[in-house]
Structure 1
Amino acid sequence: MDSEDKFSYEEDLFCPGHRACPGCGAALACRLATEATGPDTIMAMPTGCMEVTTTPFPESAWGISWIHSVFENSAAVAAGVESAYKSFERRGKEGYMDYDDVNFVVMAGDGATFDIGIRSLSGMMERGHDVLYICYDNEAYMNTGIQRSGSTPFGASTTTSPAGKESFGEDVHKKDMPSIAVAHGVEFVATANVAYMEDFKGKIRKALEIEGPKYIQVFTPCPRGWGHEARDMIKIARLAHETAIYPIYEMENGEIMDVKKIQDRKPVEKYLKLQGRFQHLFKQEGGEEIIQKLQRVADANAEKLQL
């Protein structure tokens, strides 16, 4: 933690005592995000793991202004709040922080980002609202029963893309949401990983200096949904980077400006073997072919980004 981020428990903006599972990558992402944004933040959050585990009535883990919205409209809510503050400033309305002093943020899971909420996210980006959208990416609908989402990787077994005699699990590749954000003309788009905490927080701070919509997608392992030991959360997150299956980079105005290089790239199967959602690939006949397809995805990432 940076010296400027050293809160006591009394000053935490994401407080202990929430109900997230041990080893939850998304909970760590929330804590890091609040350390980077600071107290002058208004956050919209849709239904999802973090909403359910951090705000059981009448309790809340949040030390910032926090708004729960339904699954599909957190980006619209944040856009509305941002527009209201801009209107307050224009009309000289008193009793509110100055528009330039407020950080307008969304923190949402991949289901609410890639799928259910993509319409309101698209509108927010298209209209140019000064909102930072952070997607905590645990690659399925973990809150409602581990159903597949548009972020679920090829070959993963979920409750709605189960592996079995007739299937190797998810049969389409992960949706490229960063490229969709770039296609909307978003100036700053980045990926991050909870295993690299200062990189994630640095990207948040950089994004908040840019006017207009910003998009950061952070890799957040889920022990329950992925079938791995809670103690292995950071190890698995690092392997996602070290295999190039989940590269870490940032883009400005559609151009790749910075990439986190890999010192010693590892084969994808090292990442897959630690997770229950991929175990069928090592047991079923034909699973090796799926592993090789995932390896080709990682190889393409490494080549494209010169990792």
Structure 2
Amino acid sequence: MTFRLDQLPKKRYVIPGNAACAGCGMMIGLKILGMALGDESVLVIPASCASVVQGLAPKTGLAFPILNVPFASSAAVATGIAEAYKALGVRGHVVVWAGDGGTADIGFATLSGAAERNSNVIYVMYDNEAYMNTGIQRSSSTPRSAWTTTTPSGKRERRKDVALLMAMHGVPYVATASIAYPHDFYRKLKRAAEVEGFRFIHLQTPCPPGWRFDPAKTVEVARLAVETGAWILWEYDKGVLKVNPPSDRFADKSKRRPLVEYVKLQGRFAHLSESDIKALEEEIEERWRLILALSSALNQR
């Protein structure tokens, strides 16, 4: 499927006057979600940036039906809504819109439970790679070596790959996406809407204050994440895993842009030495080998 942005629905689901930071990648993602699912969706949002930037009812900055819930409960609450929809014969999509803290850390138990049950939910993890709303603390999704207020000399651990963990649950649909490639994210939302059961999309959403870059460069930073191979666009659809364009070109390391172009735009990596960047490159290459090996193995079954 191909889509032109000027042909997509024009209704605004992210309203001017919301409380998001300038250049917020999360809000770009929400705009695309509105274009793809719109009035057919109800959002379940745990404690996060998204629960704050809405503003206060009745003059909220998001034109979705929204249920704001405690940090750890979003997948469980969404499961309950999906079951109620089924019992009442209600048509629509139950969508969790949750950050990395509420997904990879505090909400992981209920996330895994919903995936194991194959609950009829679309779960979008918007990943700004730290607890941005409460002061830029590290999460398990924060990349190795990144500065946060709780890792002032750089995080020592590698990040948790939640999308791969969801695929290993054997759910029907898992994908990664980037706000720099709205057509790809839109298509994946549409595909997820066609599938019954638990669906998970891991969306990278750069954060200017937390990553320490110029708010005008949000899309540039997101695009560089893909072009340097640091963020891989892939899709697991009913047992078949494939790398999506433009990431499919970057399986060949020689076609990627140098990783230093990505990290130099971000103050959270300003302390890195050449050897630190080399270590990150090796970690990225390891992730590529894993994704390509899984793609090859699953596609040959």
TM-score by length of 2: 0.90
Q: 2 CA distance for matches of 1:83 and 1:35?
A: 25
The runs of 5 or more residues in structure 1 that have no matched partner are 90-97, 164-168, 282-286
Alpha carbons of structure 1 residues 13 and 231: separation in structure 2 relative to 1, 3 Å = same
Q: 2 CA distance for matches of 1:18 and 1:180?
A: 33
TM-score by length of 1: 0.88
Q: 1 CA distance for matches of 2:7 and 2:207?
A: 29
Instruction: Indicate yes or no: 2:163 matched with 1:173.
Output: no
Q: What's the counterpart of residue 275 of structure 1?
A: 266
Instruction: Indicate yes or no: 2:208 matched with 1:223.
Output: yes
Q: 1 CA distance for matches of 2:187 and 2:196?
A: 16
Instruction: Indicate yes or no: 2:9 matched with 1:6.
Output: yes
Q: What's the counterpart of residue 174 of structure 2?
A: 189
Alpha carbons of structure 1 residues 87 and 29: separation in structure 2 relative to 1, 3 Å = same
Q: What's the counterpart of residue 122 of structure 2?
A: 132
Equivalent position SS for 1:87: helix
Equivalent position SS for 1:262: helix
Equivalent position SS for 1:38: helix
- The amino acid across from 1:49 in the alignment is C
Equivalent position SS for 2:270: helix
Equivalent position SS for 1:61: coil
Q: 1 CA distance for matches of 2:63 and 2:53?
A: 15
Q: 2 CA distance for matches of 1:254 and 1:162?
A: 41
- The amino acid across from 2:124 in the alignment is I
Q: 1 CA distance for matches of 2:26 and 2:75?
A: 19
Q: 2 CA distance for matches of 1:195 and 1:258?
A: 16
Equivalent position SS for 1:233: helix
State whether residues 13 and 39 of structure 1, in contact with CA within 8 Å, keep that contact through their aligned partners in structure 2: no
Alpha carbons of structure 1 residues 143 and 212: separation in structure 2 relative to 1, 3 Å = same
Q: 2 CA distance for matches of 1:247 and 1:200?
A: 13
Q: What's the counterpart of residue 45 of structure 1?
A: 45
How many residue pairs match? The answer is 284
State whether residues 40 and 64 of structure 1, in contact with CA within 8 Å, keep that contact through their aligned partners in structure 2: no
Which structure would you say has the larger Rg? Answer: 1
Q: 1 CA distance for matches of 2:185 and 2:127?
A: 13
Q: Which residue of 262, 268, 277 corresponds with 2:249?
A: 262
Give deviations 1:251-302, integer Å, cap 9, x for gaps. Answer: 1234313422236311211100000000011xxxxx3222111111222344
Give deviations 1:87-110, integer Å, cap 9, x for gaps. Answer: 123xxxxxxxx3xx3011100000
Q: 1 CA distance for matches of 2:117 and 2:135?
A: 34
State whether residues 19 and 61 of structure 2, in contact with CA within 8 Å, keep that contact through their aligned partners in structure 1: no
Instruction: Indicate yes or no: 2:279 matched with 1:293.
Output: yes
Q: State the identity as a percent.
A: 39
Q: What's the counterpart of residue 200 of structure 1?
A: 185
- The amino acid across from 1:71 in the alignment is F
Q: What's the counterpart of residue 111 of structure 1?
A: 101
State the Cα RMSD in Å: 1.7
- The offset of 1:20, in angstroms, is 0.5
State whether residues 188 and 252 of structure 1, in contact with CA within 8 Å, keep that contact through their aligned partners in structure 2: yes
Q: 1 CA distance for matches of 2:119 and 2:15?
A: 29
- The amino acid across from 2:37 in the alignment is T
State whether residues 115 and 150 of structure 1, in contact with CA within 8 Å, keep that contact through their aligned partners in structure 2: yes
State whether residues 244 and 301 of structure 1, in contact with CA within 8 Å, keep that contact through their aligned partners in structure 2: no
- The amino acid across from 1:151 in the alignment is S
Give deviations 1:66-114, integer Å, cap 9, x for gaps. Answer: 110011111111111111111123xxxxxxxx3xx30111000000000
